[in-house]
Amino acid sequence: MKHVFLFLLLFYASINYTKAQMVGERMAIDLGAVENYNNDTVYYYFTNSGSKTVYFLPIQPGENYQVLCSNKTIIPGDVFTIGLIYYTEKKGRFNIEVPINFSNSLQPIILKLSGQIKSIHPNALTICPSIENSKPLNNRVPLNIVVRDKVTYEQIKDPSVNVIQNRRTITCVPGFRNMAFQCNCEYGRIKVNAEKEGYMPATMVFDYNQENNTCLILIERLPVPSPDTIQIVYKPQVVVKKDTLREPPIVYIPTSESNTGFNETAYKPNHLIFVIDVSGSMKDTTKLPYLKSSLKALIEILRPQDFVTLITYSSKTRVVFENVNGQSKTALLYAIDTLTARGASLGAEGLNLAYEMAHQHFIVGGNNQIFLATDGLFNGNHFKEEDLFKKVKQEATKSQIRLTTIAFGKTKGALEFLSILAFKGKGKMLRILNLNTDKDVLIEEVKSGSVR
């Protein structure tokens, strides 16, 4: 029936061709040299200069491109917009031709796109076409969901993914080269579910918006009891912000009797939460680079029983990764390398979130420690230093969650503020002033805090 309708529509169009005509502005676009190619959308514009309504006809999905349309009915005088996205992971010259059809003509119009790709953006392949290749344009950045193994950080093959929004379940579809899943939902808070045979199902609450549009959800394998391995008790977790049930704490039971280096007999397991200031003032030749070098040195010595959470703050607070196992070194090091500085300094929000996650992933009998790295004071209309000092002291005393500060810069008020915070949090104020002599200060602080 669909083919019959298409034939009749084309036949009708051939009779009325002289009364309906689509005029395009540019059918061939050359992007020139492109740095950090990130699947950007290129727009083509048409005008219905005739006296009859024209229809944009469905096209076959392309393997490496996506066609978006502003609508499918173009009345006389209307301007019609087509968006074309070319997906690639290869650098170099490219030249593609995409045929599109309007009801007023039996011959397709060829859209041409070319350019010279100098480099590929790291997130280029996380945005992918959906099953329906021709769909209305909107102002939303596509929601992309990436599912990875919580321990190895490797991408999970063929998981089941869906989104729940406003009590409606939305099935997500694998996109370009199965690099990510894409779901058609509105901006706002959503619940993301991921399942895979042999893994524990995971649920994550995610605030989907224009700047926060890629959801990374980590799932872990079902535990296999073994007397020769570390025994860690897990239950499925729900990652939420506030006022929700927390997962049971991890209970660590050492099994090894070895006593060399940073081993489990001499040192307790760690959950280390780093809250890093990436505001504009940290955009210095030494501040953030020195911190990143020290962090990477620490990552290199972490063990399977150690876990790391990284939160950044500037104008907004962002969780870079949460409760990642210490043996996932490649993923951790890559994430640290991508940190850049810009924006304001809303540190209180980042610190509050850090305490939430410290409770959520608390290791009983382990070292649960927050590291705050900044070069200045916190901004914010509702922030009060005395309230923060009180909270930090209470968390250190009653909840056994220590706070250590990593101070950059030379501002007297900021250094005094960070010194008091560390004192209240039963930690230290560290300085990384010389990379040759101070690179290992984080390692020594973690060892000091986790020694048995």
**In the chain, where the domains are located:** 2-126, 139-222, 243-450
Determine the residue type at 310. Answer: L
Nearest to 74 by CA among 98, 57, 97, 59: 57
In terms of Cβ atoms closer than 10 Å to its own Cβ (0-12, 13-18, 19+), residue 377 is middle
Query: Which of 374, 384, 433 has its CA nearest to residue 404?
Result: 374
The answer to whether 290 and 407 are in contact (CB under 8 A) is: no
* DSSP structure class, residue 37: B
pLDDT in single tens digits along all 452 residues of the chain: 545 444 444 444 444 444 557 777 678 888 888 887 776 677 788 888 888 888 887 665 566 777 776 567 788 877 777 878 787 778 899 999 988 888 888 788 888 999 998 887 665 554 444 333 344 445 456 677 888 887 777 778 778 888 888 878 877 776 544 556 777 788 888 988 888 888 888 888 888 887 677 788 888 887 765 444 434 333 344 444 444 334 445 444 444 433 446 777 788 999 999 998 887 777 766 788 888 888 888 988 888 889 999 998 877 788 888 888 888 888 788 888 777 776 666 677 888 889 999 999 999 889 999 999 888 767 655 667 888 889 999 999 999 999 999 988 888 888 888 889 999 999 999 988 887 888 888 999 999 888 88
Cβ atoms of 345 and 281 within 8 Å: the answer is yes
User: Tell me, what's the pLDDT at 126?
Assistant: 43
Half-sphere exposure of residue 442: CA atoms within 13 angstroms, side-chain side? 29
Identity of the amino acid at 392: V
- Model pTM? 0.46
Which CATH architecture fits 2-126? Answer: Sandwich (2.60)
Distance CA 296, CA 231 (A): 27
CATH architecture of the domain 139-222 equals: Sandwich (2.60)
The predicted pLDDT at position 137 comes to 45
Write out the two tokens for 180. Answer: 């990510």
For 423-450, letters b (16+ CB in 10 Å) and e give bbbbbbbbbbeeeeeebebbbebbbebb
Per-residue DSSP letter, 18? G
Do 139-222 and 2-126 fall under one CATH topology? yes
Are the beta carbons of 392 and 384 closer than 8 angstroms? no
Are 22 and 55 in contact, with CB atoms under 8 Å apart? Answer: no
Question: What is the CATH topology of the domain spanning 243-450?
Answer: Rossmann fold (3.40.50)
